[in-house]
Amino acid sequence: MIIKPSTYFLLLLLFIHKSTSKLVKNYSNKLVHLDTISDEIMSDNSGNEVPLFHSLLVHTNLIGKKIIDNNSNDDDAEYYVVSRSNDKVRQLWSTRTHTELRGAAPALQDRDSWDAQIDFNLMNYISLIETFLHTYLDSKNVVVENILGNTGLYYEKARALAAVFADPRVETVCEIGFNAGHSALNALAAREGVQVLSFDLGQFWDAYGKYSYELLQHTFPNQLTLVMGDSTVTVPKFIQEKPEQKCNIIFVDGGHDFDTALADISNMKAMANQTYHRLIVDDANWGEVRQAWDKAVDTGIVQETGWVHSNYCQQYNFNYVVDEKLGVSVPILSPGLNAIPGDANVDAGSLPEGTYPIMPTGAMSFGKYF
């Protein structure tokens, strides 16, 4: 693989901290299903129709060379395609040569075809945060700079999650911590038909959560369910009422105190799909979340399988890499110029205008339930 010349430009993210589906709201100790979005076309405050997210993708698909090139002109020939299509995703996944989870994009000589899918997804996700999610929130007079918890600002985390969500074995993603819908958007945009079940305390529901939810609900009909309330209460109750619901990805990013983190990790075990699942805990190297993670590992609830350490990143570089096997140029994001991964002591004032330092942030732990 080689870097294609003369295609470099800078993608600058602003400093920013989810048709009808169903909202499940905790009310009077009973889970009640509420339809919250009408069938009318959604619009922003100016009356403009909200654009389909497909129209905002940097690439809807990348078409490469024939899978079997016999020099024929057969119109029915099959080509390598990078897209959100489940069939095409599965095809690329089956050709991967690296099975370990990787955060940052690997060096050119270590890339395989699955990396093309991951970086395709990451490029679209990072772009959609600004052009789709934050644009809609802005139209609702939400000050997006005040939103906490945007995974798009954490390069290695965002890329690792893009890889996990795109895995064709994943049918359902369950998360604790919907907040403004960033991780839910990553999952829903990764592949066609991915289901997301999210539990959220609702602390910021009126401020911005309800707008994120209505946007994603309208855009991905019948793919998003949100359960409101204290997860230490709503998760056990949901399991009791819907024991058949299972999850391939369990992403815990809720309360960061020891008792809540340990309860969330422990309670979600009953929802793990035993055919295939991954458990991911955000900020698991920090404070009481780390203590909860270690407790879960030490007591045999969880088997630790790895970590993805991440850096805070306000700026991305954008380039293309030619995947010679696929015969396609793949968009690649990487941390911005003059921003040194892991260096929290970089003086931002010493950097050229428009560039920012990258600083370490909470890591994600990966595991599976015994």
- For the chain, the domains span 2-39+82-343+365-369
- Is the model's pLDDT at 165 over the cut of 90? yes
Q: Which two tokens stand for residue 261?
A: 């983190």
With beta carbons less than 8 A apart as the criterion, state whether 9 and 315 touch.
Answer: no
pLDDT (0 to 100) of residue 53: 85
- Is the model's pLDDT at 200 over the cut of 60? yes
Q: Give 293 or 343, the one with higher predicted confidence.
A: 293
CA dihedral (234, 235, 236, 240) positive or negative:
positive
Mean pLDDT, to the nearest integer, of 205-226? 95
Report the chain's mean pLDDT, rounded to a whole number.
83
% of the chain residues with pLDDT over 90: 65
Q: Give 345 or 108, the one with higher predicted confidence.
A: 108
% of the chain residues with pLDDT over 70: 78
pLDDT (0 to 100) of residue 77: 73
**Neighbour count for residue 96 (Cβ, 10 Å):** 13
- Is the model's pLDDT at 344 over the cut of 50? no
Banded pLDDT at 148 (limits 50, 70, 90): confident
Q: Give 153 or 336, the one with higher predicted confidence.
A: 153
- Is the model's pLDDT at 234 over the cut of 80? yes
Q: Which two tokens stand for residue 283?
A: 């900020």
- Is the model's pLDDT at 43 over the cut of 70? no
- Is the model's pLDDT at 44 over the cut of 80? no
Q: DSSP for 51-86?
A: PPGGGG-S-SEEEEEESS--S---TT--EEEEES-H
pTM above 0.95, yes or no: no
pLDDT (0 to 100) of residue 72: 56
Mean pLDDT, to the nearest integer, of 280-303? 97
- Is the model's pLDDT at 7 over the cut of 50? no
pLDDT (0 to 100) of residue 335: 79
* Residue bearing tokens 């679209």: 124
DSSP, collapsed to helix, strand or coil, labels residue 259 as helix
Query: CATH assignment of 2-39+82-343+365-369?
Result: 3.40.50.150
- Is the model's pLDDT at 21 over the cut of 70? no
Distance CA 132, CA 109 (A): 34
Q: What tens digit of pLDDT does each residue of 76-91 get?
A: 678 999 999 999 999 9
DSSP 14: P
pLDDT (0 to 100) of residue 170: 98
